[in-house]
Amino acid sequence: MAPTRIGIDLLEIERLEGALARRPGLALRLFTASERSYAQGRPRPAQHLAARFCAKEAVAKALGLDAWSWQDVEVVHGPTGAPEVKLGGAAARRANELDVEVTISLTHTRLTAGAVAVAS
């Protein structure tokens, strides 16, 4: 049985908002179409994108990824509406190599967003 691995990330939402305003193409590189669509349906899209950014970072940390694409980790909604992670590419290969499944938890306030990933 593989040991449980944990990753965590925290981000100031304003920092992501500024980066997206300066570099409009950044959202295309960091987030999948469904992640962008979900966020656009919310009053403050960057709040939700920031939580997803943190989830991607937390997953990469939990899996110990060195090289990966932001598109390899996608936050989706499960049957209950709770966030789940869908892995592809290098992230999926690493999870298979470690023989783990990854679960996530997201949070945000007006100022910050965060996520925790558990690979077990």
pTM of the model: 0.96
Give pLDDT tens digits for 2-56. 789 999 999 999 999 999 999 989 999 999 999 999 999 999 999 999 999 999 9
Structural domains in the chain? Answer: 5-119 (3.90.470.20)
What span, in angstroms and rounded, lies between the C-alpha atoms of 105 and 117?
Answer: 7
CA atoms within 13 A on the CB side of 11: 27
